[in-house]
Amino acid sequence: MVIKNTFLVALKAIYINKGRSILTMLGVIIGVASVVMLTAIGNGLQAYITDQFESLGSNNIIIAPGQVFSRKSSSSEGSSGGGSFGDPEARASSIANNKLKLSYALDLKRLREYVSYVAYANSIQDEASFQTKTKTVSLLGTNEDYPKIFSTELTRGVFFTKADEQGAERVAVLGSKVTEELFGTADPIGKKIKLGNLLFTVVGSAKSVGGSFGGPSFDEYVYIPYRTMSQVYDTQAVLSIYVKAKSKDSIPATIAAIEKELLKYLEEDEFSVFDQSEILSTINDILSMLTLGLGGIAAISLLVGGIGIMNIMLVSVTERTREIGLRKALGATPNQILIQFLIEAALLSVLGGLIGLGLAWLGTVAIQAVFPAKITLDAVMLSFGVSVVVGLVFGAAPASRAAKLSPIEALRYE
């Protein structure tokens, strides 16, 4: 009963000093809101990237020119993940000295024991136009296996066929944004668009899939047969080869087989073979560090908020010295005074924490319109828990000071 009364007394003291209480809580509000929001952004980004990778299909193996990852030991570490992206300069020069060839990709098709599909790709930027509308697009020259590897779904039409690719036909599959910008809601199938100076027949239109990683969105791609691109743009380059392994378990063995095959023509440092999980794991490692760093910086504001509470509580104890003396004269024990001030400090931080969580929720909902963000229970529990502990720890010194005040001295205080 007395504890309940003490709690009500503390609540009333906060209510009476509304303005000051809100200002005191501000530190905790900002602290909790920023910890929760920043970790929400970090976690959201991580979840988004994972989703994107998963939507690209599973069991995919990528072969790229040069050294993509700095190798730790053997290149056949498989999908254990980790590692870091290689030196950017070395990577740039390895792309310039790209030695991947179409024939290697065709050779990989023979590894039937491991491989389901093999796609090869080259990419060039150009303008696509239909009637009066023009859009800069990324042209991806590839083969019929590409949609099978990357689970590319079409809303209209079909992907071009093996015959289209081998016959270097002028056909194109449009990304959803390209379709939208050139054709609006009209059906593009069978229409002729201009790529560069040549006309291509649209055979398919892809479903919207969202962004790619750093590069243009997949929705802004125009897929054309590889051999058509080679002829039209006079290039033999293969920027990457994509392989779908038979199963997840066979990925390491497939990577080993691919490496063995490629080493027949290339040096060890002239190509990289890795699976999607390896990229994902590296990105996730970076994002986790980033989230932790951002959360840590935000946590400093929580600490500052705690110091703010201590400061105000000390002022409050001094200002309310006579009140403390009176309460003691009227029968409050030192413990009841201690608890009253501790509850006050804890309530300030708990209320601040709750408001902070509310703001973080609102902020996250607002951010979600433009950026993936995801509030996690861990971040909520941690920041809220920290704010309560901060309130209690920083409230302890002023509360103990209040409890120790002599009632006579306190009553005399001017």
**Residue 2 near other proteins by CB under 8 A:** yes
CA distance 11 to 279: 53
Segment 308-367, which members bind other proteins (CB under 8 A)? 322-323, 325-336
Q: 11 or 239, CB closer to other proteins?
A: 11
C-alpha distance from residue 107 to each of 64, 112, 258, 344 (Å): 16, 10, 10, 74
Residue number, 241 or 332, with CB nearest to other proteins: 332
How many Cα atoms occupy the beta-carbon half-sphere of 274 within 13 Å?
25
We find the least distance from the C-beta atom of residue 343 to other proteins, in angstroms, to be 14
According to DSSP, residue 399 is labeled H
d(CA 48, CA 206): 20
Continuous segment of H or E residues that includes residue 130: strand 115-130
Minimum CB separation of residue 328 from other proteins in Å reads: 7
Minimum distance, C-beta of residue 323 to other proteins, in the bound complex (Å): 6
To other proteins, the closest distance from the beta carbon of 327 in angstroms equals 7
Which is nearer to other proteins, 34 or 336 (by Cβ)?
336
22 binds other proteins, rule: CB under 8 A: no
Instruction: Identify which of residues 327 and 401 has a Cβ nearer to other proteins in the complex.
Output: 327
Cβ 330 to other proteins, closest distance in Å?
A: 4
Q: What does DSSP assign to residue 215?
A: S
Between 9 and 382, CB nearer to other proteins: 9
Q: How far is the CB of 315 from other proteins (least distance, A)?
A: 15
Q: Which stretch binds other proteins (CB under 8 A): 9-17, 33-41, 58-66, 99-107?
A: 9-17
3-class secondary structure, 174 = strand
Q: Which lies closer to other proteins via its Cβ, residue 45 or residue 339? A: 339
The footprint of other proteins on residues 375-414 (CB under 8 A) is 406-408, 411
Whole-angstrom distance, CA of residue 413 vs CA of residue 409? 6
Instruction: Give the pair of three-digit tokens for residue 224.
Output: 């054309």
C-beta of 1 vs 370, nearer to other proteins: 1
Q: What is the closest distance, in whole angstroms, from the C-beta atom of residue 289 to other proteins in the complex?
A: 50
- What secondary structure does DSSP assign to 372-386, as a single string? -----HHHHHHHHHH
**Using CB atoms within 10 A of its CB, is residue 253 exposed (0-12), middle (13-18) or buried (19+)?**
middle
**Alpha-carbon span 61 to 41, nearest angstrom:** 29
Interface size with other proteins, residues (CB under 8 A)? 25
d(CA 253, CA 185): 46
Show Cβ contacts of residue 311 under 8 Å, excluding neighbours closer than 6 positions: none
- Interacting stretch for other proteins, rule CB under 8 A, among 8-16, 158-166, 290-298, 301-309? 8-16
Q: Is 276 or 336 the residue whose CB approaches other proteins more closely?
A: 336
Q: How far is the CB of 3 from other proteins (least distance, A)?
A: 10
Longest dimension (CA), the chain: 102
> Is 228 an interacting residue with respect to other proteins (CB under 8 A)?
no
Residues in contact with other proteins by the rule CB under 8 A: 1-2, 5-6, 9, 12, 16, 322-323, 325-336, 406-408, 411
